[in-house]
Amino acid sequence: MIRGTKWLVAALVAGAPSLALAVDPLLHDLPAPEPPPAVASPPAPVPESEDDLADLEVSEIRDLGPKPPSAEPPGDLWQRIRSGFAIADFDSSLVVQQQKFYAQRPEQIQRIVDRSRRYLFHIVEELERRRLPTELALLPMVESAYNPMAYSRAHASGLWQFIPSTGRNYNLGQNWWYDARRDVVASTSAALDYLQSLHDMFGDWHLALAAYNMGENGVQRAIDRNRAKKRAADYASLPMPKETRRYVPTLQALKNIVANPAAFGVELDPIPDAPYFVIVTLTRDIDLGLAATLAEMPVEELVALNPGHNRPVVAAAHAPQLVLPNDRAEAFLQNLERHEAPLSSWHTYTFKAGDKLEKLAAEHGVSVERLKAINGLAPKGNIVVGQQLLLPQKGTAAASEPLPPVFSSPARFAAYAVRQGDTWAKIAAAFGVRVDDLRRWNDGAELLAGESLVIQLTPKRTVRKPAKGPASSARRPSAASPSPRLAAPATVVRPSP
């Protein structure tokens, strides 16, 4: 903790924490991280006077995980996972096929394991806290190959592959700034909530897993049909799509390999049974590139831990949490304290009548192609009056520094600022969406001039030329503009000693 500044410090442990069925080819394969060295947390300074106490504001201290003795090295997380296996084994020829498939591709297993070591400890902690079978920690291997950027043809996203509607049902918000389906902490909580509810519904883990893949209504209909014909209603007996038929066998194959890797000629590198990451809650916007610099780490690794951000800036008003490796938090805090320049080099701008992307790009020293990539616009995509853009501040490195690949992919959402005279129907027509969908995406929003709406896009959707009408010249307060250094920029969520 740093003295002399009014930091709000909340200390808690946030544990780190199939082949992908279909992964968007535009999304990059995340690099394998180096295991974090064991770093002892420095002791908190002891205030020497009442003046010191005034500068040391501690808001909350919570512990979300066990505190292993610091003198003992962490154990192997794989052994902890094996000891929590609790789902009945499933035997079939499909299990044997999947075991052979993975055993013949050890390099593929290694890539999945390398990606998983960022997130696996957090997931295991959550499973044990809920008293759920630890086999479920292997489910993202089936769903996404542990790639949080995985995106399927059905528009499922993240480690746990939530489709948009199910994500919203489980409080995974999706907007222009952020997609919580890719947030490792939020999506893990949602996935385990969903799996628990499915198990409560069917009373059987194999059926719950089938429902996770094909939907609870599909599984229930299959059960009802079999019972009407006086047939068995277990997983092996139900009619189901080919993908679902292989779903439980694939998980079982991975479980068997993890249980006894040597039997399949597979080597599983140890994963430390210790938290991989901590969470910092921001009170002001910060560029992801700057955050990586302050944390003294590659920006690609920072993005791998914060995959939910759709823009190259962390907007504190929309998604204030920043995940950092356990051993990088102290450097981040110290460097942030010394940093006097603005934390963000971006600002939001509302596109007005008469604006041209080419002119805006030239004024901000950036190419049109880069401007479109920053804002998730397809190369031939259009823009409407009232749509919001993220623009680099003139003369900053934001106009030219390389973007991580995640920010070069087409966006799933557009941001739109309501103008005088707008109606739900007019806005829906401009973006080629249904009024009912537009209302649902913006539940509770009012059509007031300047109000920001979210429009969900598909890769093939383009917008129509907007109808003529009065343009709003008001520029909304920037969610990504640099702010004066008036308050502490972050509440840090720190590891327990």
Mean pLDDT of 342-367: 89
CATH 1.10.530 fits 77-264, yes or no: yes
pLDDT at 445: 66
- Cα–Cα distance for residue pair 156/247, rounded to 1 Å: 16
At the top level of CATH, which class does the domain 346-456 belong to?
Answer: alpha beta
Q: What mean pLDDT is reported for the chain? A: 77
Take residue 87 and report the two structure tokens written for it: 């789902």
pLDDT at 138: 98
Q: Are 16 and 124 in contact (CB under 8 A)?
A: no
10 Å Cβ neighbour count for 55? 14
Q: Annotate 424-444 with DSSP letters as a single string.
A: HHHHHHHHT--HHHHHHHTTT
Is the pLDDT higher at 18 or at 220? Answer: 220
Residues 6+ apart with CB under 8 A from 477: none
Beta strand spans in 128-219 (E): none
**What are the boundaries of each domain within the chain?**
7-16+39-72+275-343+485-494, 77-264, 346-456
Is the pLDDT higher at 460 or at 212? Answer: 212
Q: What is the band of 154 on the pLDDT scale with cuts at 50, 70, 90? A: confident
- Cα–Cα distance for residue pair 115/331, rounded to 1 Å: 24
- CA angle, 128 as apex, 58 and 67 as ends, to 5°? 45
Q: What is the band of 400 on the pLDDT scale with cuts at 50, 70, 90? A: low
Take residue 411 and report the two structure tokens written for it: 């966006």
| pTM (2 d.p.) | 0.71
- Cα–Cα distance for residue pair 397/87, rounded to 1 Å: 52
Take residue 361 and report the two structure tokens written for it: 């790009």
pLDDT in tens, 93-133: 999 999 999 999 898 899 899 999 999 999 999 999 999 99
Take residue 374 and report the two structure tokens written for it: 């920053």
- Cα–Cα distance for residue pair 139/255, rounded to 1 Å: 10
Per cent of the chain over pLDDT 70 is 71
10 Å Cβ neighbour count for 396? 18
Q: Annotate 76-89 with DSSP letters as a single string.
A: BHHHHHHHT--SPP
Residues 6+ apart with CB under 8 A from 328: 295, 296, 297
Question: Would you name the residues annotated as active-site residues?
Answer: 143
Per cent of the chain over pLDDT 90 is 47
- Cα–Cα distance for residue pair 297/295, rounded to 1 Å: 6
Q: Are 295 and 332 in contact (CB under 8 A)?
A: yes
3-state secondary structure 381-414: CCCCCCEEEEEECCCCHHHCCCCCHHHHCCCCEE
Residues 6+ apart with CB under 8 A from 126: 15, 17, 188, 189, 192
pLDDT in tens, 318-334: 889 999 999 999 999 99
Q: What is the band of 413 on the pLDDT scale with cuts at 50, 70, 90? A: low
Q: Are 404 and 297 in contact (CB under 8 A)?
A: no
- Cα–Cα distance for residue pair 297/302, rounded to 1 Å: 7
Q: What is the band of 176 on the pLDDT scale with cuts at 50, 70, 90? A: confident
Q: Are 192 and 184 in contact (CB under 8 A)?
A: no
Exposed, middle or buried: residue 74 (CB in 10 Å: 0-12, 13-18, 19+)? middle
For residue 468, is pLDDT > 70?
Answer: no
Residue whose C-alpha is closest to residue 37's, from 279, 323, 326: 326
Mean pLDDT of 295-313: 91
Mean pLDDT of 247-254: 97
Amino acid at 90: F
